[in-house]
C-alpha cells in the first residue's frame, strides 16, 4: 500500500490509500463512508488485488489521512461535498491513465457523493458501485439543509453537533430489539462493532460545518433536474443489506433502482443481502460480498 494525493483547483489536497497489483485487469476507485477511514478497507483491497484489480480508496475531509490528529476529525471546509466529488473525478482520471476499465464505488456517505459524481461527471467511470446507499428523500434533505443553514454558523462550524448527530443517525438502532451497543446497526458482526467503538478515529461526532455542507449536497442529488444528467449507458450495481437502516431496509435502494431505470439507464442491478446491516463488507460472511463486487468490476 502507498499513499496518494489529489490536488483540487483550490489548492486543497485530499489523500487516500493505493493498493496496486501486478498484471492488473481493472481499476477500482472507492470512497469511504462517514466517520471512518480508507485503510479500514485493506482486507477488501487485498482481496481485489488477488483478483488482478488495482484499488484506490479516498479519504474524506476530516477523516483518515486528512485528519492527522483527533482534533482534526470531522472538520469540513466550505464546499466540502462538491470538492470531494471533484476529487473523485480527478482520481478516476488518474486511475484511467493505465487504460484499464475503471469502476468507481462508494460506501454510505461516499455512495451519496458517488451519486453526485454520476450527475456532474457522468462519463468519468465505466461502471459504478453504490454500497449502503439510499434514495427518495429529496424533500426531507431540503428541509434538513435549511435547518442547518439556520443553526450552523462560524461560531459552531468546527464544533461537534449533538443535535444534528441525533437527527441524522439517532434512529438507526430503533428496529433492533435489545441492542448491545449504540452501533449495532452497523453490522450483525459483534467483533466489527466492538472494533469500531474502540477505535478513536471511528465514529467521532460530526461538526456543525460538516452537517451544513453534507446536507447541502444531499439536498441536490435526488432532484429531477440533476437525476436527468446521469448517462443512460451507465452500468450501476446497488449493493445493500436487507437490514440496513440507511437504505430504509431496502425501500430507499429499491427507489433508487427504479428511478434510474425510469430515467432510461440501461444497466441497473440491485443486490440485497439478507441478514446483513449497513456494513455488508464487514459482516462475518462478507466473502460473498467481496466476490460479487470483484465479478462486477471484472465483467
* Domains observed in the chain: 2-139+222-298 (3.40.50.1820)
d(CA 282, CA 238): 17
d(CA 123, CA 193): 37
- Give how far the C-alpha of residue 180 lies from the chain's centroid of Cα atoms, to the nearest Å: 26
For residue 157, the tally of other CB atoms under 10 A from its CB is 19
As a whole number, mean pLDDT of residues 254-271 equals: 98
- Grid coordinates belonging to 20: 496496486
Portion of the chain with pLDDT greater than 70, in percent: 100
Query: In what helix (H) or strand (E) does residue 15 lie, and over which residues does it extend?
Result: strand 13-19
As a whole number, mean pLDDT of residues 84-89 equals: 99
pLDDT confidence band for 110 (50 / 70 / 90): very high
124: which strand partners?
none
d(CA 111, CA 117): 9
Contact 215, 144 (CB under 8 A): yes
Contact 62, 157 (CB under 8 A): no
Helix axes 80-95, 208-221, angle to 10 degrees: 70
pLDDT of residue 243: 99
pLDDT of residue 18: 99
- Grid coordinates belonging to 139: 424533500
Q: Are strands 235-241 and 102-107 parallel, antiparallel or unpaired?
A: unpaired
Distances 269 to 226, 237, 238, 275, 292 between C-alpha atoms, Å:
21, 5, 6, 19, 12
Question: What is the DSSP secondary structure assignment for residue 207, as one 8-state letter?
Answer: B
pLDDT of residue 130: 99
Average pLDDT over the chain, rounded to an integer: 98
Contact 276, 187 (CB under 8 A): yes
Contact 245, 172 (CB under 8 A): yes
pLDDT of residue 255: 98
- Is pTM, for the whole model, over 0.95? yes
Helix axes 109-120, 80-95, angle to 10 degrees: 70
Residue 257, C-beta contacts closer than 8 angstroms, at least 6 positions apart: 238, 268, 269, 270
As a whole number, mean pLDDT of residues 15-39 equals: 98
Torsional class of 74: left (φ above 0), alpha (ψ -120 to 50), beta (otherwise): left
As a whole number, mean pLDDT of residues 107-111 equals: 99
pLDDT of residue 267: 98
pLDDT digits (tens, 9 = 90+) for 186-234: 999 999 999 999 999 999 999 999 999 999 999 999 999 999 999 999 9
pLDDT digits (tens, 9 = 90+) for 48-80: 999 999 999 999 999 999 999 999 999 999 999
pLDDT of residue 190: 98
For residue 85, the tally of other CB atoms under 10 A from its CB is 23
d(CA 282, CA 189): 7
Contact 61, 33 (CB under 8 A): no
For residue 133, the tally of other CB atoms under 10 A from its CB is 24
pLDDT digits (tens, 9 = 90+) for 123-165: 999 999 999 999 999 999 999 999 999 999 999 999 999 999 9
Amino acid at each position: 500500500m502507498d499513499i496518494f494525493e489529489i490536488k483540487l483547483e483550490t489548492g486543497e489536497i485530499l489523500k487516500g490509500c493505493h493498493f496496486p497489483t501486478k498484471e492488473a485487469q481493472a481499476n477500482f476507485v472507492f470512497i469511504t463512508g462517514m466517520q471512518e477511514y480508507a485503510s479500514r478497507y485493506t482486507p477488501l483491497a487485498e482481496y481485489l488485488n488477488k483478483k488482478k484489480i488495482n484499488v484506490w480508496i479516498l479519504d474524506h475531509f476530516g477523516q483518515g489521512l486528512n485528519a492527522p490528529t483527533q482534533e482534526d476529525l470531522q472538520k469540513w471546509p466550505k464546499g466540502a461535498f462538491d470538492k470531494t466529488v471533484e476529487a473523485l473525478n480527478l482520481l478516476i482520471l488518474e486511475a484511467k491513465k493505465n487504460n484499464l476499465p475503471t469502476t468507481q464505488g462508494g460506501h454510505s456517505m461516499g455512495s451519496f457523493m458517488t451519486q453526485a459524481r454520476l450527475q456532474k461527471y457522468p462519463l468519468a467511470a465505466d461502471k459504478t458501485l453504490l454500497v449502503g446507499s439510499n434514495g427518495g428523500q429529496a424533500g426531507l434533505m431540503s428541509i434538513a439543509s435549511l435547518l442547518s443553514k439556520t443553526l450552523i454558523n462560524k461560531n459552531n462550524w468546527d464544533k461537534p453537533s449533538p443535535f444534528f448527530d441525533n437527527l441524522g443517525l439517532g434512529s438507526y438502532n430503533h428496529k433492533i430489539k435489545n441492542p448491545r451497543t449504540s452501533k449495532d446497526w452497523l453490522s450483525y458482526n459483534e467483533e466489527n462493532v466492538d472494533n469500531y467503538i474502540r477505535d478513536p478515529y471511528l465514529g467521532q461526532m460530526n461538526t456543525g460545518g460538516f452537517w451544513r455542507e453534507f446536507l447541502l449536497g444531499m439536498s441536490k442529488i435526488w432532484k429531477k433536474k440533476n437525476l436527468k444528467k446521469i448517462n443512460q449507458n451507465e452500468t450501476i450495481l446497488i449493493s445493500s443489506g436487507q437490514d440496513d437502516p440507511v437504505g430504509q431496509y431496502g425501500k430507499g435502494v429499491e427507489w433508487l433502482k427504479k428511478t434510474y431505470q425510469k430515467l432510461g439507464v440501461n444497466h441497473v442491478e440491485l443486490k440485497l443481502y439478507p441478514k446483513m446491516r449497513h456494513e455488508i463488507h464487514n459482516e462475518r460472511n462478507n466473502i460473498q460480498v467481496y466476490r460479487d463486487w470483484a465479478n462486477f468490476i471484472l465483467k
